[in-house]
């Protein structure tokens, strides 16, 4: 009950934040020089056509009127029409966003699967070979630019060995599964289409690992330092005094106690991956939100830029909310107030 009230309260608190974000992005995109009408009309349009288009797009209204109109439409689920793709932005997002979400989920999955155990091992074998190795790996992961790593992966696994595909979400020739979530792997499972599922997973591997390399490094380092702190605690000694094995103490007692900062970082990186996967998406021709956003910016496609910005902001806040709720699940000492 408490948890529910807390959640509802937090969701209401999102409203002013989102209004703030929408105002900021709207006014910033409006001060950027460049005429969306001219861009939409194309280079050979004459002045009259452009003027008409400006009128039609509402570009001659005062900014606050434009904003009010935009928000009114937004609340009705209308994000406007893209000046570039000439279809409703909502449709574009429905098409591109699941691809990014799928890639992000996959890379977070790899991050948790590798980063956390690596950090735990690193902490428990402090200053030994395993620790040194993990620390160097983490440093390398953090230090290597994603686009460079992506290109190296492409050269090696796709061009040289030919074991993994280098672009797109599915093998050519396969039809995407029926859209339920828009994430091919999940839709394939839901429709029981295993050929498509396999192909979708294989296509996720290289971009997923490229994206995860940085976050694995960060999570490993955070897990290590958090665990080192926890391992000095009295209750860890108690756990050993009970006869617990090292593995049991590390994963059964220490990790959960060290989880808070790790969770915080996971939430942040999740948000970053959603918004910042542009480079990875470009390298692997992944038809996701990042590529869409870059196109939108290049063509001054304001409705699209606005939509992507607000969407990522909402997701960022949601992820943080989920993390905050998870804190309480992990630590019974925290209250919902």
Partner 1 sequence: MLLELNDVSLSLKRDGKYVKILDEISLQVNKGETVGIVGESGCGKSMTALSVMRLLPEKAKLEGVINLDHEDVTSYSKRKMEKIRGNKMAMIFQDPLTSLNPLHTVGRQIEETLILHTDLNKEQRKQRVIELLNEVGLPRAEEIASEYPHQLSGGMRQRIMIAVAMACNPSLLICDEPTTALDVTVQAQILDLMNHLKEVNEMGIIMITHDLGVVAEVCDRVVVMYAGKIVEQANVKELFLNPKHPYTKGLLESIPKLGVKKAKLGSIPGMVPSPDKMPQGCRFFDRCSSAMEICKGKTPPMSSVGEDHTAACWLYEEKGGEMNGSSGSEGLEATLHN
Residues that bind partner 1 (CB under 8 A): 233-235, 237-245, 248, 253, 256-257, 330-333
Residues 324 and 99: their CA atoms lie apart, in Å, by: 26
Q: Which is nearer to partner 1, 192 or 332 (CB)?
A: 332
Residue 328 Cβ vs partner 1, minimum distance, rounded to whole Å: 12
Q: What is the 3-state secondary structure (H, E, C) of 5-26?
A: HHHHHHHHHHHHHHHHHHHHHH
- Whole-number minimum distance, CB 267 to partner 1, in Å? 19
Instruction: Determine the distance from the C-alpha atom of residue 329 to the mean position of all C-alpha atoms in its chain, rounded to a whole number.
Output: 23
- Minimum gap (Å) between residue 321 Cβ and partner 1: 22
**Between residues 3 and 330, which has the closer beta carbon with respect to partner 1?**
330
What number of other Cβ atoms are within 10 A of residue 185's Cβ? 21
Which CB, 86 or 232, lies closer to partner 1?
A: 232
- CB 238, min distance to partner 1, A: 5
Q: Which is nearer to partner 1, 2 or 331 (CB)?
A: 331
302, exposed or middle or buried, with CB in 10 Å at 0-12, 13-18, 19+?
A: buried
DSSP structure string for 160-174: IS--S--SSSS-TTP
Torsion region of 282: left, alpha or beta (phi above 0 gives left; psi -120 to 50 gives alpha): alpha
* Element containing residue 108 per DSSP (H, E): helix 89-110
Q: Give the nearer residue to partner 1 in terms of CB position, either 205 or 326.
A: 326
**Closest separation in Å from C-beta 337 to partner 1:** 16
């Amino acid at each position: 009950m408490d948890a529910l009230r807390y959640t509802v309260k937090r969701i209401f608190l999102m409203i002013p934040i989102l209004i703030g974000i929408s105002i900021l992005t709207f006014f910033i995109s409006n001060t950027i020089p460049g005429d969306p009408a001219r861009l939409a009309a194309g280079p050979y349009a004459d002045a009259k056509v452009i003027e008409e288009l400006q009128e039609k797009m509402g570009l001659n209204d005062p900014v606050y009127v434009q904003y009010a109109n935009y928000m009114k439409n937004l609340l009705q689920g209308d994000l406007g029409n893209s000046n570039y793709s000439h279809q409703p932005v909502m449709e574009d997002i429905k098409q591109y966003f699941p691809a990014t979400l799928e890639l992000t989920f996959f890379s977070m999955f790899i991050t948790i699967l590798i980063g956390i155990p690596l950090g735990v091992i690193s902490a428990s074998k402090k200053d030994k070979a395993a620790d040194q190795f993990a620390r160097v790996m983490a440093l390398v992961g953090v230090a290597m630019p994603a686009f460079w790593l992506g290109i190296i992966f492409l050269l090696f696994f796709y061009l040289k060995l030919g074991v993994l595909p280098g672009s797109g979400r599915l093998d050519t020739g396969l039809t995407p599964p029926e859209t339920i979530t828009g994430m091919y792997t999940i839709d394939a499972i839901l429709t029981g289409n295993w050929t498509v599922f396999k192909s979708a997973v294989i296509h996720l591997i290289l971009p997923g690992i490229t994206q995860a390399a940085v976050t694995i490094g960060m999570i490993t380092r955070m897990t290590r330092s958090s665990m080192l702190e926890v391992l000095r605690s009295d209750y860890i000694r108690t756990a050993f005094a009970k006869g617990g094995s090292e593995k049991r103490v590390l994963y059964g007692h220490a990790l959960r106690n060290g989880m808070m900062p790790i969770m915080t970082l996971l939430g942040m990186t999740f948000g970053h991956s959603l918004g910042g996967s542009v480079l990875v998406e470009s390298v692997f021709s992944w038809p996701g939100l990042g590529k869409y956003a870059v196109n939108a910016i290049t063509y001054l496609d304001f409705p699209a830029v606005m939509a992507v910005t607000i969407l990522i902001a909402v997701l960022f806040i949601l992820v943080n909310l989920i993390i905050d709720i998870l804190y309480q699940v992990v630590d019974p000492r925290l209250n919902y107030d």
